[in-house]
Amino acid sequence: MSDNTIPGEIAATLVNSSAYATNEIFDAYRWLRANNPLGLARPEKHDPFWVVTKHADILEISRNNALFPSAVRSTTLTTQSGEARARAITGTPHLVRSLVQMDEPDHMKYRALTQAWFMPQSVKKREADIRALAREAVGQFLALPGRCDFVKDVALYYPLKVVMNILGVPSQDFPRMLRLTQELFGASDPETKRFQEALTDEQFAQVLIAVVNDFSDYFGNISADRRSDPRDDLATLIANAEIDGAPMPQFEATGYYTIIATAGHDTTSSSTAGAMWALATTPGLLERVRSAPALIPNLIEEAIRWTTPVRTFMRSASADTEIRGRRINKGDWLMLCYASGNRDEEVFANADTFDIDRTPNRQLAFGFGAHLCLGQHLARMEMRILYEELLAKLRSVRLDGTPRYVESFFVTGLKSLPIAFESM
């Protein structure tokens, strides 16, 4: 074993979803950045993978999509048997085929279908709709008796409603969508997975397939509706889209709906809750931002850095190459540790401190390069609007219990944030 291999206990931490619900993962990242910033992990039951922990390396790999493609190996961390099972089912390492799993030339053909829609000027047209949803969420929050679980009472539902609004899903189906996203993304968390017992890889794959099939059935019906009755929503764009002159295949259409419904929800919930956690625990922050609402975008940006809801994505190498003095071979698998990049001491002073005065805030929670988050402007806007509405009416807030995290090495965030508050 050469000296590029990282210690076994750190490798085990990287694949242990419960470590992502505590500071254990940040301790591991800190050690890696200092001692082996691009090391090889060889955890049990997994193929070896390079662990990319430095801000600069995450950007370099993300920017170079031809050398580090997404379609070849699983884009999320998986066990050997998990990947084998996905291959047996779909013939690829992926259970779904969305933008995230595509490389060029397909990736740009699919991304171009909705890219203009997600640009700032276009997203801004939704501002009135989104403000109405924010006012509704804030009104319900303020009607609570001064104590609540901010995740369950606000942060989970508001982003869900926004994303369902832009997709065109009717409100009676929101609970079903919430359950599906949690099953897909939080499937490794003991409290949200369908079965409470530990699952074998085979059972786990079956759960995911059942969830994907639910999505497929549901959005198949939405597509049929939008073909006969087009509206001003993303479902209409996806349902009527053509790729190379032919209708988008059903498998890819399901992938498209799935990525927007899922990527746009849990992620934004996490950073929305993270901002409230900071407000509840940072002396003077609430008063400062409330009296200077122009600081709300800083609050949002720092909440996104601090929470980094998407913890990891994977890439593979399409050719032999070298980064940070390490020889990476064609076919090697790499883990981009966004939350480590966002705490990199070389880029962020006092990286573990929540600090709204970081200018510029070079957080990389939205990724970089061709796959840079399509929903980043929407995410920032919906969080800004919610906090504009909320802070104007919030006199005080403090923690009222112990916050708890979702256990997942993929998308994670607060699962519970008990707070006590007073309104103005």
Distance CA(365)–CA(372), nearest Å, equals: 9
Q: Which residue's C-beta sits nearest to ligand HEM?
A: 375
Interface with ligand HEM, residue 373, by CB under 6 A = yes
Interface with ligand HEM, residue 342, by CB under 6 A = no
Among 309, 341, 403, 413, binds ligand HEM (CB under 6 A): 309
Interface with ligand HEM, residue 59, by CB under 6 A = no
Cβ at position 263, least distance to ligand HEM in Å: 4
Cβ at position 272, least distance to ligand HEM in Å: 8
Token pair, residue 126, equals 């939704």
Interface with ligand HEM, residue 111, by CB under 6 A = yes
Q: Say how many residues touch ligand HEM, by CB under 6 A.
A: 27
Among 21, 96, 99, 169, binds ligand HEM (CB under 6 A): 99
Other beta carbons less than 10 A from residue 42's beta carbon: 14
Q: How far is CA 107 from CA 64, 69, 189, 277, 312, in A?
A: 14, 11, 30, 37, 20
Q: Which is nearer to ligand HEM, 17 or 270 (CB)?
A: 270
Cβ at position 87, least distance to ligand HEM in Å: 20
Distance CA(74)–CA(97), nearest Å, equals: 11
Distance CA(410)–CA(74), nearest Å, equals: 12
| Interacting span for ligand HEM (CB under 6 A) from 76-84, 213-221, 258-266, 394-402 | 258-266
- How many degrees, rounded to 5, is the angle at CA 390 between CA 184 and CA 115? 45
Q: 263-282: which residues touch ligand HEM (CB under 6 A)?
A: 263-264, 267-268, 271
Interface with ligand HEM, residue 379, by CB under 6 A = yes
Backbone angles phi, psi at 158, to 5 degrees: -60, -50
Q: Can you tell me whether residue 94 is helix, strand or coil? A: coil
Got the DSSP string for 197-241?
SPPPHHHHHHHHHHHHHHHHHHHHHHHHHHHHS--SSHHHHHHT-
Interface with ligand HEM, residue 289, by CB under 6 A = no
- Give yes or no for a cis peptide into 37 (omega within 30° of 0): no
Distance CA(253)–CA(249), nearest Å, equals: 6
Cβ at position 424, least distance to ligand HEM in Å: 28
Nearest to 329 by CA among 68, 78, 15: 68
Interface with ligand HEM, residue 337, by CB under 6 A = no
Among 43, 168, 341, 367, binds ligand HEM (CB under 6 A): 367
Q: Which is nearer to ligand HEM, 70 or 192 (CB)?
A: 70
Binding mask 153-192 for ligand HEM (x = CB under 6 A): ----------x-----------------------------
Residue 299 in contact with residue 276, Cβ under 8 Å? no
Handedness of CA 163, 113, 374, 107 (dihedral sign): positive
Interface with ligand HEM, residue 306, by CB under 6 A = no
Among 310, 347, 414, 417, binds ligand HEM (CB under 6 A): 310
Q: Can you tell me whether residue 382 is helix, strand or coil? A: helix
Residues 6+ apart with CB under 8 A from 159: 264, 265, 266, 267, 268, 269, 272, 382
| Interacting span for ligand HEM (CB under 6 A) from 30-38, 78-86, 348-356, 365-373 | 365-373
Q: 68-87: which residues touch ligand HEM (CB under 6 A)?
A: 70, 75
Nearest to 180 by CA among 157, 208, 201, 204: 208
Distance CA(173)–CA(158), nearest Å, equals: 14
Cβ at position 271, least distance to ligand HEM in Å: 4
Interface with ligand HEM, residue 371, by CB under 6 A = yes
Among 304, 339, 397, 417, binds ligand HEM (CB under 6 A): 304
Among 238, 259, 275, 414, binds ligand HEM (CB under 6 A): 259
Q: 217-256: which residues touch ligand HEM (CB under 6 A)?
A: none
- Give 310's DSSP letter: B
Cβ at position 206, least distance to ligand HEM in Å: 25
Residue 410 in contact with residue 390, Cβ under 8 Å? no
Residues near ligand HEM, by CB under 6 A: 62, 70, 75, 99-100, 111, 163, 259-260, 263-264, 267-268, 271, 304, 309-310, 313, 365-367, 371, 373-375, 378-379
